[in-house]
Chains A and B, each alone.
Chain A
């Protein structure tokens, strides 16, 4: 909200400079977002009287005006293109060397041989309004030669506030003035409301019925006879413009002006269009609709609160009026509505109609019913002062159940209980009274009466906040809470950190992605994830289609990051992410209410790794080579090693989105805990990532359960081990793991380890075969093995390989 300081000064004296004032307001909860000078460019603009007008000798569109700048000043000649001038008009002229609102400097100029000693100004050129056609006619008792900028306070400072939703009372000039008064110790002045009424009374001409008092606690109205719908005064226009509201005409401007002063939205009906002189505040009926002021026909849902006349809706209550009862140039009588509507009702109607207005956004925050009548009187006063209209006698005020003020009983100790600031009863009084609270202190109790405009204050804690913000947040001495507590990290947090250490030490860079995916991803990934497609949680209002689902797999988001890197540079990419995949929980899936304490979704923690491109660029000690399956598997092995998970199996797996021959299910503790594999070439193409891209996916929860973290110690061997090599030639499809298992089985307890140290395919072993060479380490924990013993057991191993696989020994 924007408040011109000159306007503020109507209601409170300010002797601080604006920056200090802004700081004080910010530090007491009325946050000043910006201090904006307006009209600061304006210079050398004075009032002048048009003495005579002549046609320009060479241009039909130009006139030459002789203007008087006041007694003792020479008459000047000014060329103008305006057509709204007549002799005797009082208008602004910017003198040579002066400047207009946009900063343009005006010099002495020549138009077709005629010298112009200055320029007559439009409202826009002075920053008064957006009106650029024609010259502004000056009002308000200015005399030729007077400084226009000073007379109308066109050079002003605007404070731009961020008002929090709990403080609608600060959405107006008087509300801000009240805060200023409270924090600077000044007195708040109230707006002038004196006026005289017409002899004719509103009584008998207007009736107001509130059918739904729950949605409209109060409806007040005045009737005005207009004396012409002209422009509002320049000062009013300038203030509205500075506050960010466009001046339109006297009627609209006054209602806006009073809304900005008092936070009471007002609506003006052309009384002749109010059928039967009746106002009925009721819920819309089925089938009703209304063409609103913005010329849109809006079907009204039953339940929306409307203002109706004797027959039909003429306004959507608190949101927007109807076109039919709009004020026009021919309007003679205005019915001015000043009402309080239920905030929730206005919020819903505005949301359902997708129509937010200045009025609706104010009603939504909850307004003070006590303001309706003062706002009407303020309009009556301004109309009279401006000569825009006169009020009929009386007000129709329908207020079925007047509010009783909230009274809160408390003590200084209770106020201070949550503050720890050492607040006394006197502090409570000193802070609250200037804000408009009634405070009665007794010996052991403080009784606080909450002013009607402070609808946010309902209980003790609200008072504590009021007291401490005025007392000063930064005056409260910081303390540290007592009591020792054991801090620490959750098991999940520690586990993720442990994984990060292994992964980053293995060369992985951690990625963070948006956990969304799209229907198209399921097509790109292939059929294997159809299950995920059915389970996926779908957003009702996604921002874009490719972020419409909560991901059921980590693959699409990590591939998008791989693509970013492979597109931008040739460097190899090893990214990993520790994140979640999501599936609907039973209630959410069934469209039922999620019970308290339960979670709507099953959120499964996952680790994904992706490797693509060269593992490392060529180095002097190693040629470049691409990441492949065994790099990904190696990282998985390292993770298992770190976690102390033994006996991990890697079972061949033929399932999309993986390459049918280059993927394995990772099985530990009898459960599939993840996958490692190369992407299927079609999937790689669909995601525009390198064809050799390899991935590993691990689910964290089973790993956490299986991890031993090497918690037990094994004694070191005291006797030497003996190495023996064995090489076998086998058909290429025989898995190496099977050979290793056979060695372990045949060798029994004496086999300490089996290491595959060479794999060879080539002419020497024959087409379709390969040679696998192992080093077997034999060791006993009880004794030193003799050569004979080792030879015997190794012979058994060799024989087993021949027997089991028909292998040729090399």
Chain B
């Protein structure tokens, strides 16, 4: 019996070692350790041994069973690992094929410009509001201290709907509307469409966008105007850009100033972008004219304020290096998809 045990053990260990799949290994387990397995059979045959031999044989048999069991488990683990590896190898895909990307659209570059400009002013405590595009002559001109014979009122330059109704030529009428309906302090920025009778070309369009700003409060000064607009320029264009203010004229502000920013391309030396001047005109601004304050019932002795307005197309074109304004309104996807 002892020899028999040795022989079965040897065969079993060989069979375990030779099993190449987990299925084959299971067959091996059944053949030797199953209910009708060869080692199990030896246990039943133990009764044929002399009683004094049984304990020693039993012990040997158990050792043999444990050995086979241990080998089986080890082999099982090895085969599982190998099979998993094979499965993973079979599952290999071509990672260089394109993914199923969701189609992403984008906001219009002028919207992106409005966002960026407005965010800077919101962070300085301004509220973003909007206003009507079909305006009265009163709000667009008269209340803004623009004399009746001012050339801007000319039908050559302004779209009229009736004698006294027009398409706003600037976002500035919202200065008046906002002051009329609210108590100071007034601190707003107003993005929106404006209209002028310009033939469309690379730098003009009958419809374009402005962002207006207004701050009216007690004790607001020209120095504050400079501070706020310089802060804007440094955030929008970069802290390394130089800023300068030039006297100008607008009927509804006094003193009035245009703000220039040093050219980002040449750094002020003069180039194609700044037309050799080293400076790029960015916006018009000024202290709100007392006549405008009076027109809305504010007391110019108690309140002062500043206003500013910038042409969005120009700002966006400079930012992205767009050389033709028409691109902004054609909505060619090959153009629109370049802005995110």
In the bound complex, what is the Cα–Cα distance between A345 and B175 (angstroms)? 30
Interface string of B103-137 (1 = CB under 8 A from A): 11111101100010010011111111110111110
B58 CB within 8 Å of chain A: no
With A479-B221, A489-B128, A565-B333 given, is the CB distance from A541 to B254 under 8 Å?
A: no
On whether the beta carbons of B248 and A564 are closer than 8 Å, the reply is no
On whether the beta carbons of A485 and B125 are closer than 8 Å, the reply is yes
A166 CB within 8 Å of chain B: yes
Q: List residues of chain A with CB within 8 A of the CB of B167.
A: 539, 550
On whether the beta carbons of B217 and A488 are closer than 8 Å, the reply is no
B272 CB within 8 Å of chain A: no
Interface string of A611-626 (1 = CB under 8 A from B): 0000010011110000
Q: List residues of chain A with CB within 8 A of the CB of B37.
A: none
With A479-B227, A483-B185 given, is the CB distance from A509 to B162 under 8 Å?
A: no
A507 CB within 8 Å of chain B: yes
On whether the beta carbons of B127 and A591 are closer than 8 Å, the reply is no
A653 CB within 8 Å of chain B: no
CB-nearest residue of chain A to B330: A564
A296 CB within 8 Å of chain B: no
Least CB distance, B127 to chain A, in whole angstroms: 5
On whether the beta carbons of A511 and B221 are closer than 8 Å, the reply is no
In the bound complex, what is the Cα–Cα distance between A513 and B151 (angstroms)? 28
CB-contact partner of A490 in B127, B147, B287, under 8 A: B127
B28 CB within 8 Å of chain A: no
CB-contact partner of A600 in B136, B151, B154, B287, under 8 A: B136
Interface string of A319-355 (1 = CB under 8 A from B): 0000000000000000000000001100110010000
A465 CB within 8 Å of chain B: yes
On whether the beta carbons of A417 and B304 are closer than 8 Å, the reply is yes
Q: Which stretch, A43-51, A217-225, A572-580, A709-717, touches the partner chain B? A: A572-580
A487 CB within 8 Å of chain B: yes
Least CB distance, A589 to chain B, in whole angstroms: 10
Interface string of A466-477 (1 = CB under 8 A from B): 001100011011
Interface string of A582-615 (1 = CB under 8 A from B): 1000001001011011011101000000000000
Least CB distance, B165 to chain A, in whole angstroms: 5
A537, A538, A616 — most chain B CB neighbours (10 Å): A537
Q: Which stretch, A26-34, A301-309, A424-432, touches the partner chain B? A: A26-34
Interface string of A642-670 (1 = CB under 8 A from B): 00000000000000000000000000000
Per the CB 8 Å criterion, the residue count for chain B at the interface is 90
In the bound complex, what is the Cα–Cα distance between A364 and B128 (angstroms)? 38
On whether the beta carbons of A493 and B165 are closer than 8 Å, the reply is no
Q: List residues of chain A with CB within 8 A of the CB of B115.
A: 497
On whether the beta carbons of B246 and A540 are closer than 8 Å, the reply is no
Binding site secondary structure of chain B: mixed
CB-nearest residue of chain B to A493: B128
On whether the beta carbons of B228 and A480 are closer than 8 Å, the reply is yes
With A485-B185, A490-B128, A512-B108 given, is the CB distance from A478 to B150 under 8 Å?
A: no
Per the CB 8 Å criterion, the residue count for chain A at the interface is 98
A443 CB within 8 Å of chain B: no
Least CB distance, B35 to chain A, in whole angstroms: 38
On whether the beta carbons of B108 and A476 are closer than 8 Å, the reply is no
B206 CB within 8 Å of chain A: yes
On whether the beta carbons of B128 and A480 are closer than 8 Å, the reply is no
A441 CB within 8 Å of chain B: no
On whether the beta carbons of A418 and B328 are closer than 8 Å, the reply is no
With A164-B249, A515-B193, A565-B331 given, is the CB distance from A465 to B128 under 8 Å?
A: no
In the bound complex, what is the Cα–Cα distance between A593 and B206 (angstroms)? 26
On whether the beta carbons of A420 and B206 are closer than 8 Å, the reply is no
Q: List residues of chain A with CB within 8 A of the CB of B123.
A: 487
In the bound complex, what is the Cα–Cα distance between A506 and B254 (angstroms)? 48
Q: Which stretch, A87-95, A456-464, A771-779, touches the partner chain B? A: A456-464
A137 CB within 8 Å of chain B: no
On whether the beta carbons of A487 and B126 are closer than 8 Å, the reply is yes
Q: List residues of chain B with CB within 8 A of the CB of A489.
A: 118, 122, 127-128
With A510-B111, A599-B132 given, is the CB distance from A573 to B249 under 8 Å?
A: no
On whether the beta carbons of B154 and A351 are closer than 8 Å, the reply is yes
With A420-B221, A473-B246 given, is the CB distance from A564 to B331 under 8 Å?
A: yes
On whether the beta carbons of A28 and B247 are closer than 8 Å, the reply is yes
A37 CB within 8 Å of chain B: no
On whether the beta carbons of B187 and A485 are closer than 8 Å, the reply is yes
Q: List residues of chain B with CB within 8 A of the CB of A516.
A: 207
In the bound complex, what is the Cα–Cα distance between A485 and B199 (angstroms)? 41
A505 CB within 8 Å of chain B: yes
Interface string of B248-264 (1 = CB under 8 A from A): 11000011110000000
Q: Which residues, 148 to 196 on A, are CB-close (under 8 Å) to B? A: 164-167
On whether the beta carbons of B247 and A511 are closer than 8 Å, the reply is no
Q: List residues of chain A with CB within 8 A of the CB of B149.
A: 343-344, 347-348, 364
In the bound complex, what is the Cα–Cα distance between A572 and B164 (angstroms)? 45
Least CB distance, B129 to chain A, in whole angstroms: 5
On whether the beta carbons of B247 and A464 are closer than 8 Å, the reply is no
Q: Which residues, 487 to 544 on A, are CB-close (under 8 Å) to B? A: 487-490, 492-493, 497, 500, 503-516, 537-543
CB-nearest residue of chain A to B221: A420
On whether the beta carbons of B162 and A504 are closer than 8 Å, the reply is no
Q: List residues of chain A with CB within 8 A of the CB of B177.
A: 597
Q: List residues of chain B with CB within 8 A of the CB of A401.
A: none
Q: List residues of chain A with CB within 8 A of the CB of B100.
A: 619, 621-622
In the bound complex, what is the Cα–Cα distance between A465 and B254 (angstroms)? 6
B57 CB within 8 Å of chain A: no
On whether the beta carbons of A510 and B106 are closer than 8 Å, the reply is yes
Q: List residues of chain B with CB within 8 A of the CB of A507.
A: 102-105
In the bound complex, what is the Cα–Cα distance between A516 and B155 (angstroms)? 18
CB-nearest residue of chain B to A465: B255
Total A-B pairs, Cβ < 8 A: 262
Q: List residues of chain A with CB within 8 A of the CB of B336.
A: 509-511
Q: Which residues, 201 to 255 on B, are CB-close (under 8 Å) to A? A: 206-207, 215, 217, 219-224, 226-228, 230-231, 244-249, 254-255
In the bound complex, what is the Cα–Cα distance between A698 and B220 (angstroms)? 43
On whether the beta carbons of A594 and B128 are closer than 8 Å, the reply is no
A131 CB within 8 Å of chain B: no
On whether the beta carbons of B185 and A419 are closer than 8 Å, the reply is no
Q: List residues of chain B with CB within 8 A of the CB of A483.
A: 185, 217
In the bound complex, what is the Cα–Cα distance between A164 and B254 (angstroms)? 13
B97 CB within 8 Å of chain A: yes
Q: List residues of chain B with CB within 8 A of the CB of A167.
A: 249
In the bound complex, what is the Cα–Cα distance between A476 and B246 (angstroms)? 12
With A468-B255, A600-B161 given, is the CB distance from A547 to B106 under 8 Å?
A: no
With A469-B255, A509-B336, A510-B336 given, is the CB distance from A481 to B217 under 8 Å?
A: yes
Q: List residues of chain B with CB within 8 A of the CB of A364.
A: 149, 151
Least CB distance, B223 to chain A, in whole angstroms: 3
CB-nearest residue of chain B to A503: B105
On whether the beta carbons of A420 and B222 are closer than 8 Å, the reply is yes
A199 CB within 8 Å of chain B: no
Least CB distance, B36 to chain A, in whole angstroms: 42
With A364-B149, A476-B226, A599-B132 given, is the CB distance from A540 to B125 under 8 Å?
A: no
In the bound complex, what is the Cα–Cα distance between A564 and B328 (angstroms)? 13
With A476-B226, A486-B125, A487-B121 given, is the CB distance from A481 to B220 under 8 Å?
A: yes
B62 CB within 8 Å of chain A: no
Q: List residues of chain B with CB within 8 A of the CB of A468.
A: 222, 255
Q: List 21 A-B contacts (CB under 8 A).
A: A29-B247, A31-B248, A165-B151, A418-B220, A465-B254, A465-B255, A478-B226, A479-B224, A487-B121, A490-B129, A504-B106, A510-B336, A542-B159, A569-B334, A571-B333, A582-B133, A588-B162, A591-B162, A599-B134, A601-B134, A603-B132
**Beyond A417-B221, A550-B167, 4 additional pairs, beta carbon < 8 A:** A418-B255, A469-B255, A476-B226, A539-B160
Residue ranges of A at the interface with B (Cβ–Cβ < 8 Å): 26-29, 31, 164-167, 343-344, 347-348, 351, 364, 417-421, 459, 461-462, 464-465, 468-469, 473-474, 476-490, 492-493, 497, 500, 503-516, 537-543, 547, 550, 561, 564-565, 568-569, 571, 573-576, 580, 582, 588, 591, 593-594, 596-597, 599-601, 603, 616, 619-622
